[in-house]
Amino acid sequence: MLTRGLRPLLLMRVLAIESSCDESAVAILDRRRGLLAHELYSQIELHRAYGGVVPELASRDHVRRLLPLVVRAMAAADTRPTDLTGVAYTAGPGLIGALLSGAALGRSLAYGWALPAIGVHHLEGHLSRLS
């Protein structure tokens, strides 16, 4: 079984982006070595004054925070785009604007790096951690 670019799945390394609600998160996952790096930015303080998540503010904050998180995670994992075999992003459920922010970045990076972009169901992402 091979991925795009004919790299064996044993060499699989994925950049994962999560932006379904009020946290921006990025991780680098390696099939053999597991979690290589992760970065998280919480929007709790941003939304505190409103007593709950404001979807438009969440979306705009993801746009500001996600790319710097990607840069930091890639550096922490000592990973270059050519080391990756794909880019995953949260495809739902969640706040539509927040999801679109992460999907736009994930799909753009994948396109620019000639990698597959993989939309992942938010709950399946949690469940796969358990198996």
pLDDT of residue 124: 78
pLDDT profile of the chain (131 residues), mean per 10: 48 93 96 95 95 96 97 98 97 95 98 97 70 50
Q: Is 78 exposed, middle or buried (0-12, 13-18, 19+ CB in 10 A)?
A: exposed
pLDDT of residue 78: 98
pLDDT of residue 128: 65
pLDDT of residue 2: 41
pLDDT of residue 123: 79
74 by DSSP, 3-state: which?
helix
pLDDT of residue 8: 54
CA distance 48 to 50: 5
pLDDT of residue 116: 97
For residue 29, which phi and psi values (nearest 5 degrees)?
Answer: -115, 135
Q: Which residues make Cβ contacts (< 8 Å) with residue 110, sequence separation at least 6?
A: 86, 87, 116, 117
